[in-house]
Amino acid sequence: MREGAIILVGDDLDNDLKIGFVLIGCSLLLFPMMMDLMQEHDDVVREYERECDMDYRFLVLDILEAPDWALCNELEQEKSQRVSYFLGSLALFVLSGLGGLVMVLPYEESDPRQPPLGR
């Protein structure tokens, strides 16, 4: 009966390893997507500064005319949407990476490959 329990524990560990490696693989695939979303957000922020920030327009671009407020509202909405996408992808990246590491790395009570203490 005890050997059957060890086999079941071993199967659970193999399953945990598989799930852990899949989660780490997902995390690695999410990294470039997260970086692209961050770049898209930065691009929208720069465009918002060029089109709507009066200080930036006056000091850097030397433009004195008033910005198009309809365009500014549209850029503000796009900026908030892009930051939501970026933060969502960042959360998925971190959670899948940490979850995968937790599943892969051994811990004391469930790792049968380590010899018992005192022998």
| 46-96 tens-digit pLDDT | 998 888 887 877 777 777 777 788 888 999 999 999 999 999 999 999 999
**Domain region containing 59:** 2-103
Does the pTM surpass 0.75? The reply is no
Assess if residue 112 is contained within a domain: no
How many domains does the chain contain in total? 1
Assess if residue 94 is contained within a domain: yes
Assess if residue 18 is contained within a domain: yes
Assess if residue 6 is contained within a domain: yes
Q: How far is CA 24 from the centre of its chain?
A: 12
Assess if residue 109 is contained within a domain: no
Nearest to 45 by CA among 91, 7, 82: 82
Assess if residue 73 is contained within a domain: yes
Tell me the pLDDT band of 1, cut-offs 50, 70 and 90: very low
Assess if residue 116 is contained within a domain: no
Assess if residue 115 is contained within a domain: no
- Mean pLDDT over the full length of the chain: 82
